């Protein structure tokens, strides 16, 4: 079951990277041609701002508790290591919520699958650090100064070796962080354990139920004697939770950073309704996100995701890619390199010409 869910998730990574959400029908065409065989894709459940009442919309699915599917952040899912979570199958059945765990310093201010995996997770983080020189040089530049002293960041992102480097950088710069996962499948348990061992208040594990998902977010936000003053979100669920359950927290929030287009869309809805009372930054407005992450990272992950979900050969397959923007360009290049016959739909004449 885990493997199937995992694969379904990876397919979604590719789809969401290549297309805007409104373009899913285009990929339905791909499915019809036999490239997508994962039933979970069509059974995905999304949680989003539904209307001005800010109610959740939940589409019931057959998979029940395990079916919540979130958009995937590019940076956190590209490496091979992100795809693998080395879970000790012996404790699979016990919910982390039912376990009493402490790290080596005696703290139990976290909830992860298995704290004993911390050492292995640390090695993964160290490997990721080698490829994340900008953040590492930020740490060096701060040289023990704490430019983020006073920042209390509540975060909700994928929890992988790469995001761990980000979280630990924020901590190294003086921020206090409490973190949960924005996706119920993508957490690398060993990395979450390493963060917990390092003293980060992390609440996440791979294969959370929907109830677990919100419980983890709540544990991050709702803590006696600690109140966040910044939100770092990927998908908007955390922001929404704070908005719905703890609106007073916004009185202290200095700003929101949102990674995903979906989350930004939700923020725009709030803004239009006159309910966005703090500044928000759209990570996609960053040129490095658009021109590097969207293009090159999607170029790599599309194949990884499709291969994992379908296990088919792509040479000679007919593939439709909807949109030839940064993501579409990357995906097309990768698919063509495998010998697929790529069809592109595009409404922008310039992009359409580029695709020609």
Ligand X SMILES: NC(=O)c1ccc[n+]([C@@H]2O[C@H](COP(=O)([O-])OP(=O)(O)OC[C@H]3O[C@@H](n4cnc5c(N)ncnc54)[C@H](O)[C@@H]3O)[C@@H](O)[C@H]2O)c1
Positions that interact with ligand X (CB under 6 A): 16-17, 19-20, 71-74, 261, 290, 294, 298, 322-328, 345-348, 351
- 25/130 with CB nearer ligand X: 25
CB of 308 to ligand X, least distance (A): 15
- 273/353 with CB nearer ligand X: 353
- 290/310 with CB nearer ligand X: 290
CB of 351 to ligand X, least distance (A): 4
From the CB of residue 251, how many other CB atoms can be counted at a distance below 10 Å? 10
Helix 24-32 to helix 2-18 angle, to the nearest 10 degrees? 120
CB of 23 to ligand X, least distance (A): 6
In 3D, which of 344, 353, 350, 349 has the Cα closest to residue 23?
344
Task: Please tell me the distance from the alpha carbon of residue 242 to that of residue 245, in angstroms, as a whole number.
Answer: 5
- 190/234 with CB nearer ligand X: 234
Tokens of 12: 């979604």
Task: Please tell me the distance from the alpha carbon of residue 237 to that of residue 241, in angstroms, as a whole number.
Answer: 6
Q: What one-character-per-residue DSSP string does 214-262 give?
A: HHHHHHHH-BTTB--SEEEESSSHHHHHHHHH-GGGGGT--EEEE-SHH
Task: Please tell me the distance from the alpha carbon of residue 233 to that of residue 261, in angstroms, as a whole number.
Answer: 11
The answer to whether the beta carbons of residues 71 and 16 sit under 8 Å apart is yes
> Alpha carbon 178 to chain centroid distance?
16
CB of 78 to ligand X, least distance (A): 9
CB of 177 to ligand X, least distance (A): 22
Task: Please tell me the distance from the alpha carbon of residue 223 to that of residue 172, in angstroms, as a whole number.
Answer: 22
What is the SS3 assignment for 355? helix
The answer to whether the beta carbons of residues 217 and 180 sit under 8 Å apart is yes
- 272/291 with CB nearer ligand X: 291
The answer to whether the beta carbons of residues 284 and 316 sit under 8 Å apart is no
- 1/347 with CB nearer ligand X: 347
- 68/322 with CB nearer ligand X: 322
The answer to whether the beta carbons of residues 44 and 58 sit under 8 Å apart is no
Shortest-Cβ-distance residue relative to ligand X? 325
CB of 102 to ligand X, least distance (A): 35
- As beta bridge partners, residue 156 has 180, 233
CB of 14 to ligand X, least distance (A): 8
CB of 94 to ligand X, least distance (A): 32
- As beta bridge partners, residue 179 has 155, 202
- 9/74 with CB nearer ligand X: 74
């Amino acid at each position: 079951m885990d493997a199937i869910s995992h694969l379904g998730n990876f397919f979604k990574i590719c789809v969401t990277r290549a297309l805007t959400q409104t373009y899913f029908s285009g990929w339905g065409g791909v499915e019809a041609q036999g490239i997508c065989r994962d039933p979970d894709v069509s059974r995905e459940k999304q949680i989003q701002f539904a209307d001005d009442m800010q109610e959740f919309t939940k589409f019931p699915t057959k998979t029940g508790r395990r079916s919540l599917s979130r958009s995937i952040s590019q940076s956190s899912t590209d490496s091979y290591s992100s795809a693998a979570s080395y879970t000790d199958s012996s404790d699979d059945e016990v919910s982390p919520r039912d376990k009493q765990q402490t790290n080596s310093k005696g703290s139990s201010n976290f909830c992860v699958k298995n704290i004993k995996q911390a050492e292995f997770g640390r090695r993964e983080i160290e490997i990721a650090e080698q490829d994340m020189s900008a953040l590492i040089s930020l740490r060096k530049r701060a040289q023990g100064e704490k430019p983020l002293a006073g920042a209390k960041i509540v975060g909700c992102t994928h929890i992988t070796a790469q995001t761990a480097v980000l979280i630990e950088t924020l901590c190294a710069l003086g921020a206090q962080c409490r973190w949960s996962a924005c996706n119920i499948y993508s957490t690398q348990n060993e990395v979450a354990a390493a963060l917990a061992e390092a003293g980060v208040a992390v609440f996440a594990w791979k294969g959370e139920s929907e109830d677990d998902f919100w419980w983890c977010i709540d544990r991050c936000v709702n803590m006696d004697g600690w109140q966040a003053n910044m939100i770092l979100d990927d998908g908007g669920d955390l922001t929404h939770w704070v908005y719905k359950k703890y609106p007073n927290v916004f009185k202290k929030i200095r700003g929101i950073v949102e990674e995903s287009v979906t989350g930004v869309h939700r923020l725009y809805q709030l803004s239009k309704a006159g309910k966005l009372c703090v500044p928000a930054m759209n990570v996609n407005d960053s040129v490095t996100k658009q021109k590097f992450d969207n293009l090159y990272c999607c170029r790599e992950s599309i194949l990884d995701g499709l291969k994992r979900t379908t296990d088919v050969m792509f040479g000679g397959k007919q593939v439709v890619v909807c949109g030839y923007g940064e993501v579409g360009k990357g995906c097309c290049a990768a698919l063509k390199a495998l010998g697929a016959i790529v069809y592109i739909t595009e409404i922008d004449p310039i992009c359409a010409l580029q695709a020609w």
